[in-house]
């Protein structure tokens, strides 16, 4: 008895992708937040298939490892030799002998495919009670692709590969996207009858359509409304083209939800990112991984955020952040580098030429200029002077520095960790702080200043400096003259 709602997904990913000229298997190339195969698996995910089989071959181990990470429910099945797409599906079916109902087959290199389109293909297929249904599209340039050959009544007759096509068939612009729905039981039977009598000497999955047609089994075609969804990836030029298309799609969808994207052509947002309403993304900005941008935040220009959370109303300008948390209304940059576990509380500021790592910066606290803050906790409403270094590394281990609330540390300080500066404490400019500073104290840790009077006139006579010093001496003894010099 057939169980029409049982579904199995098979993704074909055993090929090498020669034209990529890469050590990385083609399906593992990244594209705005997912690998090529990651995109395909996520388009198939809403089908909630009982089983997902991925046919692996070229560099199978690498593909398996990736699948374990992104799709642990998927079963990799090894196709030792790539003898064709029909052979690949045959091997996949051997791994799931119990599979009945609808079998969805997807090429692993069609990353722009939408989940809605896969669902619509399956609806067409199940609605028609077809033995096989192919996703087709009219494309401007069908070169290299299989063509959909229809009869006079518009019914699918066969799918023919370009290299096996007649000149007339080559003129067809309706192509096979490499995405199909099959009745599993009938496909199993038909695959047993495939020949490899074609230009490549391979078992073509596409040949089952002709077999079904001649056996009088119903086949169907589902035409994709947006042909870009069916684009495959064969080389790096195509990969870049897909990246641009996906960029535009992602940007457009965020703009439709109320995000301002000032320059969509230079804004690259991974499909895994979230951007809330009224955020403004300025030009040359990349938002990657699990990054979240809060409502009304301003990000850009020239910003890269990886796995970083930006709070509501925060601003991040010309900066790079990885694994950071930027609190609401906090301000970052221009020219800041936030490394993992940098945590800025509400209204905190990390300014220009500042690097942070494993650093918590409390509410309203500021590190405005030219500093390194590593392995540190800074309390609330404190100010760190310009050109400060949190000296966290003794050459062997990292140590922590703690600065309290409402502290004011001087410019050009070194905090030699482990060390603590108490609440409300001050430190003098140029200090090397090696011992704890109690709350409310002023720490001064620098040499006393000594002026050697007249040194330049004695040791550097005749220089412009000595001349200037001499004039200053004369003016000092003639207050009227000094006033007439101006500044």
Name the site residues for ligand UD1 (rule: CB under 6 A).
12-15, 55, 57, 79, 82-85, 87-88, 107-109, 145-146, 159, 161, 175-178, 204-206, 232
Distance, CA of 432 to CA of 438 (rounded, Å): 16
Cβ pair 266, 285 in contact under 8 A: yes
Cβ pair 78, 86 in contact under 8 A: no
Residue 409 touches which of ligand UD1, Mg ion, none (Cβ within 5-8 Å per kind) = none
Question: Which residue is nearest to ligand UD1, using beta carbons?
Answer: 146
Element (H, E) at 464: helix 464-477
Instruction: Choose between 71 and 373: whose C-beta lies nearer to ligand UD1.
Output: 71
Cβ pair 5, 87 in contact under 8 A: no
Residue 101 touches which of Mg ion, ligand UD1, none (Cβ within 5-8 Å per kind) = none
Instruction: Choose between 108 and 327: whose C-beta lies nearer to Mg ion.
Output: 108
Instruction: Choose between 27 and 104: whose C-beta lies nearer to Mg ion.
Output: 27
Q: What angle do CA 145, 148, 150 make, to 5 degrees?
A: 160
Instruction: Choose between 54 and 273: whose C-beta lies nearer to ligand UD1.
Output: 54
- In whole angstroms, how close is the CB of 53 to ligand UD1 at the nearest point? 11
Cα separation values, 377 from 341, 364, 365, 424, 440, Å: 11, 13, 11, 15, 18
Distance, CA of 59 to CA of 51 (rounded, Å): 23
Q: Determine which one of 369, 399, 400, 406 is catalytic.
A: 369
Residue 146 touches which of Mg ion, ligand UD1, none (Cβ within 5-8 Å per kind) = ligand UD1
Instruction: Choose between 38 and 385: whose C-beta lies nearer to ligand UD1.
Output: 38
Cβ pair 106, 12 in contact under 8 A: yes
Distance, CA of 470 to CA of 464 (rounded, Å): 10
For Mg ion, the binding residues in 220-239 under the rule CB under 5 A are: 232
Cβ pair 72, 61 in contact under 8 A: no
- In whole angstroms, how close is the CB of 154 to Mg ion at the nearest point? 26
Residue 34 touches which of Mg ion, ligand UD1, none (Cβ within 5-8 Å per kind) = none
- In 3-state terms the chain splits into helix, strand, coil percentages (rounded to 5) of 25, 30, 45
Q: Phi and psi dihedrals of 256, rounded to 5?
A: -65, -20
- In whole angstroms, how close is the CB of 74 to ligand UD1 at the nearest point? 14
Instruction: Choose between 162 and 263: whose C-beta lies nearer to ligand UD1.
Output: 162
Q: Concatenated DSSP letters for 101-147?
A: SEEEEEETT-TT--HHHHHHHHHHHHHHT-SEEEEEEE-S--TTSPE
Residue 79 touches which of ligand UD1, Mg ion, none (Cβ within 5-8 Å per kind) = ligand UD1
User: What is the 3 state secondary structure string of 369-383?
Assistant: EEEEEEEEEECCCCE
Question: Which residue is nearest to Mg ion, using beta carbons?
Answer: 232
- In whole angstroms, how close is the CB of 143 to Mg ion at the nearest point? 12
Residue 206 touches which of Mg ion, ligand UD1, none (Cβ within 5-8 Å per kind) = ligand UD1
Residue whose token pair is 């297929």: 125
- Look at residues 85, 98, 71, 130 and name the one whose alpha carbon lies nearest to residue 122: 130
Residue 282 touches which of Mg ion, ligand UD1, none (Cβ within 5-8 Å per kind) = none
- In whole angstroms, how close is the CB of 370 to ligand UD1 at the nearest point? 51
- In whole angstroms, how close is the CB of 345 to ligand UD1 at the nearest point? 48
Residue 88 touches which of Mg ion, ligand UD1, none (Cβ within 5-8 Å per kind) = ligand UD1
The tokens for 35 are: 């690998």
CA distance between the termini of the chain: 100
- In whole angstroms, how close is the CB of 145 to Mg ion at the nearest point? 8
- In whole angstroms, how close is the CB of 43 to ligand UD1 at the nearest point? 14
The tokens for 263 are: 């320059």
Q: Is 369 a catalytic residue?
A: yes
Cβ pair 96, 89 in contact under 8 A: no
Q: Could you tell me if residue 40 is left (phi over 0), alpha (psi between -120 and 50 degrees) or otherwise beta?
A: alpha
CA dihedral of residues 319, 323, 324, 325 (deg, nearest 10): 130
Instruction: Choose between 232 and 313: whose C-beta lies nearer to Mg ion.
Output: 232
Instruction: Choose between 128 and 165: whose C-beta lies nearer to ligand UD1.
Output: 165
Distance, CA of 176 to CA of 135 (rounded, Å): 6
For binding to Mg ion (CB under 5 A), which residues are involved?
232
Active site residues: 369
């Amino acid at each position: 008895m057939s169980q029409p709602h049982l579904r199995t997904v098979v993704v074909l990913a055993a090929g090498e992708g020669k034209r990529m000229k890469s050590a990385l298997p083609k399906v593992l190339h990244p594209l705005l937040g997912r690998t090529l195969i990651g995109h395909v698996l996520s388009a198939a995910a809403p089908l909630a298939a009982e089983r997902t089989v991925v046919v692996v071959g070229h560099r199978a181990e690498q593909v398996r490892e990736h699948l374990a990470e992104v799709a642990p429910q998927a079963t990799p099945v090894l196709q030792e030799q790539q003898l064709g797409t029909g052979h690949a599906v045959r091997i996949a079916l051997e791994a799931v002998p119990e599979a009945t109902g609808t079998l969805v087959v997807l090429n692993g290199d069609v990353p722009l495919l939408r989940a809605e389109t896969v669902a619509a293909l399956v609806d067409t297929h199940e609605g028609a009670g077809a033995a096989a249904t192919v996703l087709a599209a009219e494309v401007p340039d069908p070169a290299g692709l299989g063509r959909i050959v229809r009869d006079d009544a518009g019914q699918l007759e066969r799918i023919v590969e370009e290299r096996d096509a007649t000149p007339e068939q080559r003129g067809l612009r309706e192509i096979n996207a490499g995405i199909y729905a099959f009745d599993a039981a009938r496909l199993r039977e038909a695959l047993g009858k495939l020949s490899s009598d074609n230009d490549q000497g391979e078992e073509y999955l596409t040949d089952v359509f002709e077999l079904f047609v001649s056996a009088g089994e119903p086949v169907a075609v589902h035409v994709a409304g947006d042909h870009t969804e069916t684009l495959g990836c064969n080389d790096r030029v195509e990969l870049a083209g897909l990246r641009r298309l996906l960029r535009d799609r992602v940007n457009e969808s965020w703009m439709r939800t109320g995000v301002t994207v000032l320059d969509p052509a230079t804004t690259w947002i991974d499909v895994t990112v979230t951007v809330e309403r009224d955020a403004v993304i300025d030009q040359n900005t990349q938002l990657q991984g699990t990054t979240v941008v809060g409502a009304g935040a301003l990000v850009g220009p020239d910003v890269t955020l990886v796995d970083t959370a930006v709070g509501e109303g925060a601003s991040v300008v010309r900066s790079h952040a990885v694994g950071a948390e930027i609190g609401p209304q906090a301000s970052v940059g221009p020219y800041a580098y936030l490394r993992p576990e940098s945590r800025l509380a509400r209204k905190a500021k990390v300014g220009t030429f500042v690097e942070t790592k494993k650093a918590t910066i409390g509410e309203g606290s500021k590190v405005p200029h030219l500093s390194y803050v590593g392995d540190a906790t800074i309390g609330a409403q404190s100010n760190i002077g310009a050109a400060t270094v949190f000296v966290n590394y003794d050459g062997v281990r990292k140590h922590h520095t703690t600065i309290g609330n409402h502290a004011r540390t001087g410019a050009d300080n070194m905090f030699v960790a482990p060390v603590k500066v108490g609440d409300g404490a001050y430190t003098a400019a140029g200090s090397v702080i090696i011992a704890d500073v109690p709350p409310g104290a002023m720490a001064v840790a620098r040499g006393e200043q000594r002026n050697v009077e007249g040194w330049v006139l004695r040791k550097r006579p005749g220089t412009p400096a000595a001349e200037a010093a001499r004039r200053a001496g004369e003016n000092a003894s003639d207050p009227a003259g000094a006033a007439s010099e101006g500044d």
